[in-house]
Chain A
Amino acid sequence: MLLIRKTLMQSFFLVAMAVTAGLAVNALRPDGLPLAGAAPSAVTLPANETDIALKDAALLSMSKRAIFLDARSGFEFADGHIQGALSVPVDDFERIFPGIEKDLAGKDAVIAYCDGEHCPLSGELAEKLTSRGVKNVYVLKNGWTLWNAEGLPVGKGQ
């Protein structure tokens, strides 16, 4: 019994030393491994700009990690929009925002889109969102056209 206790005690201390040394070395070295953190994702969210790629937006949409905000007019929205998107015409932002604020929290990406390569509405909407403290705001440039071209799921009506 003494032998077992001795073995366990010494093993414990040896492992404790290894854990301490390992973590200390890892913390000090410049190329240390990140110990915690989510599993690597196939989605690459740009760090310093707001444009998100269609593939990333589509992936986030499928896994419900993103919410889409349609910056076009209500009429265009009713005619067809990205499935699950909310209608937020830029001019009506102040009126609509309080009602949708809670839907935007906790998403990996809040994606504003409109239609056309040079459509300014999605950028304006993104700026307004950011200024109201919404995190992870991105713009899917030319979003409606790109989404349609790939045959991705769409919705109709209000």
Chain B
Amino acid sequence: MTLRDTPTGRDMAASRAASRAASWAARLAPALETALRLFLAGLFAYASLDKIAHPDQFAAIIRDYRLLPQAAVPFTAVVLPCLEAVLALALALGKWREGALFLSAALLAVFWVSLAVNMARGLDVSCGCFSTTKDSGGSMLWYIFRDGFFVLVGLAAWYLGVWRRRRSPGE
């Protein structure tokens, strides 16, 4: 009977492995969090450019989604790209982390639901995600898959940047 086979030995080995994994995670998490945050910042910055340049075309795309009342469309077309730009800035600078990461994940989730709703009712909308040109390529399924990935990135960034930090003392 070796030490390893005793209950205490097994526990110790397991806890050593667990603590090694935890320390790796602790070391990797900040880097991963920064990477995800900067990825989101780039995503929103890139997404906002074409929409800020062409508000009228973006308004037409929002109208095609058939989700907002007519009266709310121009306001949304004007404000939404700016919100993306503001989020990109906050994410890039790491300022107002809680709000910025929450809004990012929420916004991406709203986009995903909007696409899913329209796919469910058979409307083939132009995404308006990164380009205001109609028929800028891609199918609904691809948009939903792509935005689903972004939602996961948003959630992961929020988890690492907000939820995980919340539990570590001294932050």
A18 to B76, CA, bound (A): 11
* Any B CB within 8 A of the CB of A33: yes
* Any A CB within 8 A of the CB of B56: yes
Q: Are B52 and A25 in contact (CB under 8 A)?
A: yes
Q: Are A17 and B86 in contact (CB under 8 A)?
A: yes
Return the contact of A3 from the options B70, B96, B162 (Cβ within 8 A): B162
> Which residue of A is nearest B48, CB measured?
A18
* Any A CB within 8 A of the CB of B153: no
Q: A21-B86, A26-B55 are in contact. Are A35 and B78 (CB under 8 A)?
A: yes
Question: Which residues of chain A have C-beta atoms less than 8 A from B56's C-beta?
Answer: 31, 33
Q: Are A14 and B78 in contact (CB under 8 A)?
A: no
Q: A7-B98, A39-B70 are in contact. Are A14 and B87 (CB under 8 A)?
A: yes
8 Å CB interface, A1-57 against B: 3, 6-15, 17-19, 21-23, 25-26, 31-36, 39
Q: Are A33 and B102 in contact (CB under 8 A)?
A: no
A19 to B77, CA, bound (A): 11
* Any A CB within 8 A of the CB of B154: no
Q: Are A33 and B55 in contact (CB under 8 A)?
A: yes
Return the contact of A11 from the options B70, B75, B79, B103 (Cβ within 8 A): B103
A90 to B82, CA, bound (A): 57
Question: Which residues of chain B have C-beta atoms less than 8 A from A9's C-beta?
Answer: 99
Q: A31-B56, A35-B78 are in contact. Are A10 and B100 (CB under 8 A)?
A: yes
8 Å CB interface, B71-87 against A: 71, 74-75, 77-83, 85-87
* Any A CB within 8 A of the CB of B166: yes
Q: Are B74 and A33 in contact (CB under 8 A)?
A: yes
Q: Are B98 and A22 in contact (CB under 8 A)?
A: no
Main secondary structure of the interface of B (DSSP, over half): helix
Q: Are A35 and B74 in contact (CB under 8 A)?
A: yes
How many interface residues does A have (CB within 8 Å)?
A: 26
Question: Which residues of chain A have C-beta atoms less than 8 A from B79's C-beta?
Answer: 18-19, 22-23
Return the contact of B78 from the options A7, A26, A39 (Cβ within 8 A): A26
- Residue among A9, A17, A22, A36 with most chain B CB within 10 A: A22
Return the contact of B59 from the options A23, A25, A33, A39 (Cβ within 8 A): A33
* Any A CB within 8 A of the CB of B90: yes
Question: Which residues of chain B have C-beta atoms less than 8 A from A17's C-beta?
Answer: 86
Least distance between A21 CB and chain B CB atoms (Å)? 5
> Which residue of B is nearest A8, CB measured?
B99
Chain B residues with a Cβ under 8 A of chain A: 52, 55-56, 59, 70-71, 74-75, 77-83, 85-87, 90, 96-100, 102-103, 162, 166
Between A and B, 22 residue pairs with Cβ closer than 8 Å are A3-B162, A7-B99, A10-B97, A10-B99, A10-B102, A12-B99, A13-B96, A13-B99, A14-B83, A14-B96, A15-B83, A15-B103, A18-B83, A18-B86, A19-B82, A21-B85, A22-B80, A22-B81, A25-B78, A26-B78, A31-B56, A35-B74
